[in-house]
Chain A
Amino acid sequence: AQTVTQSQPEMSVQEAETVTLSCTYDTSESDYYLFWYKQPPSRQMILVIRQEAYKQQNATENRFSVNFQKAAKSFSLKISDSQLGDAAMYFCAYRVSEKLVFGKGTKLTVNP
């Protein structure tokens, strides 16, 4: 069974600093997709960044980047220059067939 593990239930960061959220997953597939979603209190899941497993280059989206290590089955999210609006729950997700398998999430607090 595919599983996604986020080992940090909560993280905090000072505004303008950098934070890294960790994620590991378990799969026997060789080709798959990984995503990070952000969920603010409004509940809507918002896509932050995605990574195709066949691509060796780490994905980046503005202040967000990933460190994808396929052999280690690790997919961490780095947020640079943290902003107050980044405070939310962050979920790592693995795509198997069509459905997403989510981790339990990391609550990120940004301190002014």
Chain B
Amino acid sequence: GAGVSQSPRYKVAKRGQDVALRCDPISGHVSLFWYQQALGQGPEFLTYFQNEAQLDKSGLPSDRFFAERPEGSVSTLKIQRTQQEDSAVYLCASGVLGEGSNQPQHFGDGTRLSIL
């Protein structure tokens, strides 16, 4: 498939555990985004990469959240010492480069994270 791939699709963790969510963007897409979608809400921006550079991490809710994209392709969102309020769907999106471009972001199916 040529779309954005996220894994796992579902993740259940106990409070206090660390989790890692993976995103494999569309091949050739320079931009990569992470969004958090709470139940019944719209997605909220977490962080943005252009290639391997993390250009904006203003949406990360705390220092327990960490994202990386070391080779400019696959990205991992890590949440340390998870808390119940971290329960949400985490969406990854990728896009062609271009601030000022009207090119849309292409989204994956998301990872639903449940913290018990």
B56 & A97 in contact (Cβ 8 Å cutoff): yes
**Residues on the B chain within 8 Å of A93, using CB:** 42
Number of A-B residue pairs, CB cutoff 8 Å, is 59
Q: Specify the main secondary structure of chain B where it touches its partner.
A: strand
- Most chain-A Cβ atoms within 10 A of its Cβ — which of B40, B48, B107? B107
A50-B102, A104-B42 given as contacts; is B31 within 8 A of A98 (CB)? yes
Cβ contacts under 8 Å, A101 to chain B: 45
Chain B residue numbers with a CB within 8 Å of A102 are: 42-44
Most chain A C-beta atoms within 10 Å of own C-beta, residue among B31, B41, B43 = B43
Q: Hey, which chain A residues are within 8 Å of B59, CB to CB?
A: 99
B67: A residues at CB distance < 8 A: none
Interface size on B, residues (CB 8 A): 29
Contact A45 B43 (CB under 8 A): yes
Q: CA of A103 to CA of B89 in the docked complex: distance in angstroms?
A: 16
Closest to A102 in B: B42
CA distance A43 to B33 in the complex (A): 16
Contact B33 A44 (CB under 8 A): no
CB of B23 closer than 8 Å to a CB of A: no
Complexed CA–CA distance, A42 and B108 (Å): 10
Most chain-A CB neighbours within 10 Å: which of B41, B42, B55, B56? B42
Q: Give chain A's interface residue range (CB within 8 Å of chain B).
A: 20 to 34
Shortest B10–chain A CB gap in Å is 11
**Known interface pairs A42-B109, A43-B89, A97-B99. Does A50 touch B41 (Cβ–Cβ under 8 Å)?**
no
> Quick check: A104 and B31 within 8 Å, CB to CB?
no
Contact of A91 among B42, B45, B100 (CB under 8 A): B42
Residue of B nearest to A46 (CB): B107
23 examples of A-B residue contacts, CB within 8 angstroms? A31-B100, A35-B104, A43-B91, A45-B43, A46-B107, A91-B43, A97-B56, A98-B33, A98-B48, A98-B50, A98-B55, A98-B56, A98-B99, A99-B33, A99-B56, A99-B59, A100-B33, A100-B43, A100-B45, A100-B93, A100-B105, A101-B45, A103-B42
Which residues of B does A touch, CB under 8 Å?
Answer: 31, 33, 35, 40-45, 48, 50, 55-56, 59, 89, 91, 93, 95, 99-100, 102, 104-110, 112
